[in-house]
Structures are given as C-alpha cells and as structure tokens.
Amino acid sequence: MLKEKLLELRQQALSNIDSADELKALQEAHVRFLGKKGPITEILKGMGKLSKEERPDVGKLANEVRQLIAARIEEKKTDLEARLLDLKLESEKLDVTLPGRKTVPGSHHLLASIIREVEDLFIGLGFSIEEGPEVEQDYYNFEALNLPKDHPARDMQDSFYITDDILMRTHTSPVQARTLEKHKGVGPVKIICPGKVYRRDNDDATHSHQFMQIEGLYVDHKVRLSDLKGILTVFAKHMFGADREIRLRPSFFPFTEPSVEMDISCFKCGGHGCNVCKGTGWIEILGAGMVHPNVLRMSGFDPSEYTGFAFGMGPERIAMLKYGIEDIRHFYTDDIRFLKQFYRA
C-alpha cells in the first residue's frame, strides 16, 4: 500500500508543479510534498515499522519519488524565472532609436561673470585674492579701519548686529585689516577682496540689504596716489572700453586719506551728455584713496616706512551700467527670463 501511495503522491506532485504559473505556487508545492511535515517525509520516518523484505523496495521508491519531485520543481523554477525576466525586459525596454533629450547647459550668474572678469584682470596685475568671514567682529569691521565706536561715519553703514560685538560685515574692508595684521608689519601686501556684504537698507531699484563688493589694497614702500590712478585707469579701460578716461574727485572715507571718487567718461555718449551720465558726461564708478596712517599703524605697519592705496567697487553697479539694468533687485530674484539675457556675458 505504501508503494501505491508513493506513486499516487508522485502523480499529484507532478500535476501541481506543471500547473504552477508563479513562483509562489511552486514554493507551496515544494512545502506540501517535500516539507518536513509532508507525506513523503512521513513515509520515510515510518520505514522502521516495515518488514525487512519491504523496507528496501519502499525506501528506494520513496527516494526516487522525492528526487523526481525536487528535480521537476527546480526545472519549473528555472522556467518561471526566465518568463518573468522576459516580461520585465519587455516592459522596461529602451528604444535606442528615439532621439535623445537635449541638455541645456547652464552659465555663470551675471554678477559672478563680472567678479571673475575683475579677478582675472587684477591677478594679471600681480594681485592675489583674499576672502574672509561674512559674520564679522566689530573691531575688524570698524575699529581697525579708523572707525571707533563713537565715530559718526558708522551711521552710513548701519548693519545687522548679532551681538554688541558681532555683526554681518558692511564691506569687505575687514579682509584688508585681517590680511595686514597677518603680515605682521612686513610688505608688500597686494590683494583684492570680493564677497557679499550687508547693510540695513530699504530695498528699492538702487539699494539692497545684501550686495556684492570688490575691494583692493596695495601696501608697500613708496606707493603713491599716481600708482592708484594708473591701476584704476587700466581697470576702467578693460571693463568699459579702451577709449575711456577717468577723473578723481576729492571725497571722504574714514580709512583713507586723501580719499577720492573715481568717475569714467560716459561710454554711451563719449562725454557729451546723455541719460546714462545724466548730462554730465561722467559716471561715478568707485571710491578709493591712500590708506590712512591709523589703519596701517593698527595693523602693525609703520606709516613712516609703508604707504598704500585702497579702492572699492560694486559688481552690481558695473553690471547695471554695462548692460542697462535699471533695478538691482533683478540680480537676486532668480528670474530665468532675466538671467538668460546674459547667457554669454
């Protein structure tokens, strides 16, 4: 009777395996017929109850049936996995004959392009680039630049204070003070300092609470105002055209003495007067001057041995003049329609 039962189990198992159309059903057939509690396992466990004459024949048949079922399950599993792979490949296939999607390259922001152009120019003139923290100490932002705590000129640079002694820097001049201090009174120092600065301004077409600034500093023996004029002339001709002329007007900055404002001849009308230069023929570009002796002294330099000049400019103003941009807020709104106009600037 055990032989008949084994043959019947073989037939049932093979039928179940052949009809299985997914791996889950095949696994259930495996557990049902070959599992630890399956009928074939039970028969093998009961072999000890058979007579010596029956035991060899039943044992041989039981092993043959088990091996046949296991082999058929493995064969069916391979077939089902191949079918699943074919279905997956069919559903995920890629049509390589389709045209590719066009990748639109990005470009530098207009202000970044202006800053890079200025950096390249001054690197070619022997300057190096220095950077510093945007969250700055009051000492480096004001006091080291000849602006003590009670100085009225501080009112022109009302800033965002974090504590009484920590603020968002109002210019990149602190980088100059830190660099001079780092040189311990030994020149030359020849740097430009680009970066973001902050002031508590009401945002409008020409003012922003955050803007960019590039400052320059040159300290060495016998640096003269004529050296400053020569450097600024090269800058003006490079940025605004070879036929530009410059003029220096007296001005006031606490950290320079004497101080000047630099104007360039109008690049639109050639100095005859137009809407860009407001009829004057000249456009104000930047402020500059000879480094104040107090600034040199506070940074460890002897003013009797060293002199220097400093200047500061706004990349936004340069860009607005060069490209006819009327509102400084356009630089910071990330409007792609505006930015795309200067893709190759």
List binding-site positions. 257
SS3 state at 186: coil
Residue 324 pairs in a beta bridge with: none
Q: How many helices (H) and strands (E) does the chain have?
A: 11, 9
Q: Which two tokens stand for residue 62?
A: 């039981």
Q: Residues within the annotated binding site for Mg(2+)? A: 257
Using the structure block, give the residue that is written with the tokens 């137009």. 274
User: Is residue 119 a contact partner of residue 129, using CB atoms and an 8 Å limit?
Assistant: yes
Q: Which two tokens stand for residue 138?
A: 């009051």
The answer to whether the Cα torsion of 180, 184, 190, 193 is positive or negative is: negative
Cα–Cα dist 33/42, whole Å: 10
Cα–Cα dist 109/94, whole Å: 37
Cα–Cα dist 170/173, whole Å: 8
- Select from 336, 118, 308, 142 the least CA-distant residue to 212: 118
169's CB contacts (< 8 A; 6+ apart) are 132, 133, 134, 135, 136, 141, 159, 197, 198
User: Is residue 182 a contact partner of residue 210, using CB atoms and an 8 Å limit?
Assistant: no
